[in-house]
Structure 1
Amino acid sequence: MFYPSDVQGPRPVSREPSDHATNQVVITTVPEAANRELPHALNVAAGATAATSFGDNRIDGVLYQLGLRARSFSRVFVPRTDATTLAAMPKDRATMAARMISADYQADEDESGFSRTFKIDFETDVNVAQVCQALSQSTAVSEVRPNYISRILASPSDEFYGFQWGLQAIEAEMGWDIETGHSDLLIAIVDSGIDLQHDDLKDKLVAGEDFVNFQGSLGQRYIPLGDYQDRDFDPDDEDGHGTHCAGIAGASSNNTRGITGVCWGGKILPVRVMFRVWDRFENRETSIGFDTDIMPGIKFAIDSGAHVINLSLGGSNGDAYRPILQAARDRNVCVVAATGNENAGFPPAPSYPAADPNSLAVGAINSALNRASFSNYGLGYAPFVMAPGVEIASTYKDNGYVYLQGTSMATPFVAGLAGLIVSLGLRSGKQLTVDEIYTIIRETATPLGLGKGDRFYGEGLVNVPAALKAAQEKLDG
């Protein structure tokens, strides 16, 4: 990884760092307190004026009593625009800004609370727990929480020059005799962005968005680097992590160059929600993202018509993801998420969104088909599955190729498999439900350890041909 000269050698902090922004909270109001006049963060990035008060004394009054001044209030989620309209819309800034300013929330977005969720940025660091406790007593607020941090779940290894052992481990070649990917399939990579000019990816990319918009305080742990302010329409990848995941799931294949993705056909939607930081606690560069960027990024993927969403990221944010992941399930969108890299069991150490029952959790194995030493485990990840996650060769930023390892790398193998199953449905004119797809992937996985339901290996290693055969039988039945 690249270490900028201006941040080399910082002193690591001696105490456990915060897992949330230290000058922000997120609130969801009761329906009658929703303020439709407040701008989206995207509106602000496009030139709208930020609001410094909420407009309801039941909220503004609490902050006044605490002696706090807000830098801005903004709505977290952008109203839905249907996928057909979105695809046909020019991607210039003026047109997109007009769409965001004029769009109205739909009924299900009001019911789920998306239209009533706001981020409060304070002018200085605050006692987040105290603010949350005070706001939770307000009759205008139905939920309040910190703006939690999620981290990418990969670690760097070596430059790319080897072989893709992972495709052999999941028997991908036999699966490609059944399905290679339908042209209408859309897989969303919600991550650090994607190298938009990569030779192995550019022909498969559709126009995405950059949801990173951090204006606050990172406390003592992180130093922000690169592009971390103002949401825009350029989801290019400064880290390389999202590009690596995109290549595993769906790099251009059978084209005599580069690598082979699990799912050859279809398109990839780049959604940037993570940005680079220097981690003073671990003394290295990595990427992080906040709930208020990640969750609207997931919503954008859903609204854009994604069939599969890859989430190679995780944090300790618990039930915060439940509404947006439920929305994905309601719209029949598969969400595949990494279990995490702490070598921790769940319970009691969950990583979200993988621990949410609306997602399909993925752990990592090595080339000997043993659980990777870092891979999280535990029956609390619902029935989870395993995929290759050590020394995985794939695409990288600056048109490059590298080996990386982590449950981040295992996850897009499964996202690619889900894409192949969806492709069978698109080809037949019949679509399987998310629950049916998750069940097929779990039931056809090759058992490892002590067999199905093993604490360390879950349902086992995903098997591409077995899953596709089961899916085809289900569609034909």
Structure 2
Amino acid sequence: MESERRGPPDKSAKRFSIFGPNDDSRVPGEALVELKPEAARRVTVSIPDASMLEGTGVKQLGLPDLDEALQDIHVRSISHLYLPSPPTLAGHTFVAEVGEESHFRIQYDPATSIDEALATLTKKGNRDVLSAEPNHWRQGMTAGSRHGSHHPRQWGLPKIDCPTAWQRTIGDANVVVAVLDTGVDLNHPDLRPHLVAGKNCVAFDVRPTPPDGYVLLGNYTGASGPPEDEVGHGTHVAGTISCERTSMDGVAGVTWRCGLMPVRVLARAYEQSTREVVPLGTGADTARGIRWAVNNGAKIVNMSLGDYDVNPSERSSIEYAVQRNVVVVAAVGNDGRSDPTYPAALPGVIAVAATEPQSQLASFSNFGDHVSVCAPGVKIRSTYWGGGSYTELSGTSTASPHVTGVAALLLSLNLGLTASDVTQIILGTATPLRKQPADPVPNPTFGRGLVNAEAALQRALGL
């Protein structure tokens, strides 16, 4: 169990993340509980998933010892963590995914200490509880504000050799990329042709306790409504992955044809003192979003989000994705630190750092042994929320979708490639970069180097 000695975020140090490695990023009033399989079979209460969270009032599971523990921590609601996956047909019987019925999201009075709540659940419910973990905040990985003027061209695309790669493929609509983010502007004219059915997975408590100094705005309870962007972050990420230029002022994506699946896992948070808007969510919603995307046909998952603490549910969902042959890509963070961030540092994830036009590591980009590759991440022009607009953003959030786009080009060229094939091709064809001439490759600054679209496609073709 994690110690509660860590305090609220220290804002005296200059960084772009709400939380640093030594801050307590746990969500007050929330626990993620996995029951032992035998206990899950004894649950006698009908439990909704989080899309039905608001107003359900379910506060027990029908397991006496655990129900007593829930009462002690002043439970507010209980929901299944994961959305139901499509059942498989075994003979003439429909069979649910093994284990999904064992995972629950418990929301309790946030005045109750997190450590006290977790200890109560595991001690009193020890007959039934396999694990009780905190939920953690997750933030979009954009560094600073949008830029007012645009770069004369989309420098990132030629930097990773997209124009040459496009002579081989510009993408295939059958390759669907899940954008786990703030949602997407569903009416943006350049993105609308590429959109497939998505999902809103944001499910805060109806009385949330956001990080100190922030308030949540807009649609943030009960996973209700469409995956509509209320920040702009997800719209920008989506346009970098797949977009065809339709006007002189428009932009192109790394692919021009691949499908975009908006999975909303980050809401709109507002810092009152600075008037800053940030994308904010939790690891639980990210975990649910991954599974939903995999179950609904995504071939690649992009996560331009993260934090410095591991969420076990995210680890489990990424394992779920990898086992089902889905490529997972994530941003490493924007604090200029070597500390690993999650989900980027989890096994099976392509972890992406950000570079400047001169192929130097961006000043804000995190680094470290967990970095897989790097990609352009400074003043990246892409689609933006509201009125079919465009803007420039910087961050590892904008680097990650470049790598995701290259993965989509590879699958467009050959849908028979496995997720492991795609990962190894991207890593094996990156242009080596070094901070010092004698540095090895891979190295903690750039990983394997700068992603290269054309080299990756050549490798896939055996050229």
Same fold (TM over 0.5): yes
Structure 1 vs Structure 2: percent identity of aligned residues?
Answer: 34
Shift in Å, 1:105: 6.5
Tell me the TM-score normalized by structure 1: 0.85
**Change over 3 Å in CA distance of 1:124–1:326 after alignment to 2:** closer
Residue in structure 2 matched with residue 395 of structure 1 by the alignment? 383
Paired residues of 2:182 and 2:279 also in contact (CA < 8 A): yes
Shift in Å, 1:133: 2.4
Residue in structure 1 matched with residue 239 of structure 2 by the alignment? 247
Tell me the TM-score normalized by structure 2: 0.87
**CA distance in structure 2 between the aligned counterparts of 1:57 and 1:160, rounded to whole angstroms:** 62
- Verify: 1:446 aligned to 2:431, yes or no: yes
Task: Work out which of the residue numbers 414, 417, 420 in structure 1 matches 2:409.
Answer: 420
Paired residues of 1:395 and 1:401 also in contact (CA < 8 A): yes
- For the residue of structure 1 that corresponds to 2:179, the secondary structure is strand
Task: Work out which of the residue numbers 404, 425, 446 in structure 2 matches 1:457.
Answer: 446
Consecutive unaligned residues of structure 2, counting only runs of 5 or more, are 1-9, 14-18, 89-93
Residue in structure 1 matched with residue 461 of structure 2 by the alignment? 472
Shift in Å, 1:220: 2.6
**Change over 3 Å in CA distance of 1:246–1:276 after alignment to 2:** same
**Change over 3 Å in CA distance of 1:63–1:380 after alignment to 2:** same
Paired residues of 1:13 and 1:221 also in contact (CA < 8 A): no
Residue in structure 1 matched with residue 301 of structure 2 by the alignment? 309
Residue in structure 2 matched with residue 56 of structure 1 by the alignment? 63
Paired residues of 2:190 and 2:244 also in contact (CA < 8 A): yes
**CA distance in structure 2 between the aligned counterparts of 1:270 and 1:51, rounded to whole angstroms:** 29
The one-letter amino acid paired with 1:76 is L
Residue in structure 1 matched with residue 85 of structure 2 by the alignment? 80
| Deviation string, structure 1 residues 136-161 (Cα, Å, up to 9, x no partner) | 33121111111100100003231464
Paired residues of 1:80 and 1:105 also in contact (CA < 8 A): no
Residue in structure 2 matched with residue 43 of structure 1 by the alignment? 52
Paired residues of 2:53 and 2:203 also in contact (CA < 8 A): no
**CA distance in structure 2 between the aligned counterparts of 1:234 and 1:319, rounded to whole angstroms:** 26
- Verify: 1:212 aligned to 2:202, yes or no: yes
Task: Work out which of the residue numbers 377, 384, 396 in structure 2 matches 1:407.
Answer: 396
Paired residues of 1:26 and 1:147 also in contact (CA < 8 A): yes
Q: How many residues are paired up?
A: 427
**CA distance in structure 1 between the aligned counterparts of 2:117 and 2:215, rounded to whole angstroms:** 24
The one-letter amino acid paired with 1:368 is Q
Residue in structure 2 matched with residue 86 of structure 1 by the alignment? none
Residue in structure 1 matched with residue 146 of structure 2 by the alignment? 157
The one-letter amino acid paired with 1:331 is R
- Verify: 1:337 aligned to 2:330, yes or no: yes
- For the residue of structure 2 that corresponds to 1:32, the secondary structure is helix
Paired residues of 1:194 and 1:240 also in contact (CA < 8 A): yes
Paired residues of 1:200 and 1:251 also in contact (CA < 8 A): yes
Residue in structure 2 matched with residue 185 of structure 1 by the alignment? 175
The one-letter amino acid paired with 2:147 is D
Residue in structure 1 matched with residue 5 of structure 2 by the alignment? none
**CA distance in structure 2 between the aligned counterparts of 1:31 and 1:160, rounded to whole angstroms:** 56
The one-letter amino acid paired with 1:59 is L
Residue in structure 2 matched with residue 96 of structure 1 by the alignment? none
Aligned-residue CA RMSD in angstroms?
2.3
| Deviation string, structure 1 residues 259-314 (Cα, Å, up to 9, x no partner) | 00001112110111101112368762211111221111111110110011110000
The one-letter amino acid paired with 2:327 is C
The one-letter amino acid paired with 2:367 is Y
Higher helix share: 1
Residue in structure 1 matched with residue 16 of structure 2 by the alignment? none
Instruction: Note the 1:6-17 alignment, pairs <5 A.
Output: none
**CA distance in structure 2 between the aligned counterparts of 1:78 and 1:386, rounded to whole angstroms:** 33
**Change over 3 Å in CA distance of 1:219–1:445 after alignment to 2:** closer
The one-letter amino acid paired with 1:152 is G
Paired residues of 1:152 and 1:286 also in contact (CA < 8 A): yes
Paired residues of 1:309 and 1:335 also in contact (CA < 8 A): yes
- For the residue of structure 2 that corresponds to 1:318, the secondary structure is coil
- For the residue of structure 2 that corresponds to 1:157, the secondary structure is coil
Residue in structure 2 matched with residue 32 of structure 1 by the alignment? 38
- Verify: 1:145 aligned to 2:133, yes or no: yes
**CA distance in structure 2 between the aligned counterparts of 1:356 and 1:117, rounded to whole angstroms:** 20
**Change over 3 Å in CA distance of 1:375–1:390 after alignment to 2:** same
Task: Work out which of the residue numbers 285, 288, 306 in structure 1 matches 2:277.
Answer: 285
- For the residue of structure 2 that corresponds to 1:238, the secondary structure is coil
- Verify: 1:322 aligned to 2:311, yes or no: no
**CA distance in structure 1 between the aligned counterparts of 2:12 and 2:165, rounded to whole angstroms:** 50
The one-letter amino acid paired with 2:67 is D
The one-letter amino acid paired with 1:361 is A
Residue in structure 2 matched with residue 129 of structure 1 by the alignment? 115
**CA distance in structure 2 between the aligned counterparts of 1:316 and 1:30, rounded to whole angstroms:** 28
Instruction: Note the 1:361-372 alignment, pairs <5 A.
Output: 361-372=351-362
- For the residue of structure 1 that corresponds to 2:370, the secondary structure is helix
**CA distance in structure 2 between the aligned counterparts of 1:196 and 1:71, rounded to whole angstroms:** 33
| Deviation string, structure 1 residues 199-219 (Cα, Å, up to 9, x no partner) | 110111112111111113225
**CA distance in structure 2 between the aligned counterparts of 1:199 and 1:451, rounded to whole angstroms:** 45
Shift in Å, 1:454: 1.5
The one-letter amino acid paired with 1:203 is P
**CA distance in structure 1 between the aligned counterparts of 2:442 and 2:236, rounded to whole angstroms:** 30
Paired residues of 2:29 and 2:109 also in contact (CA < 8 A): yes
| Deviation string, structure 1 residues 317-368 (Cα, Å, up to 9, x no partner) | 32512210011011111010001111111xxx21001001111100000111
**Change over 3 Å in CA distance of 1:147–1:367 after alignment to 2:** same
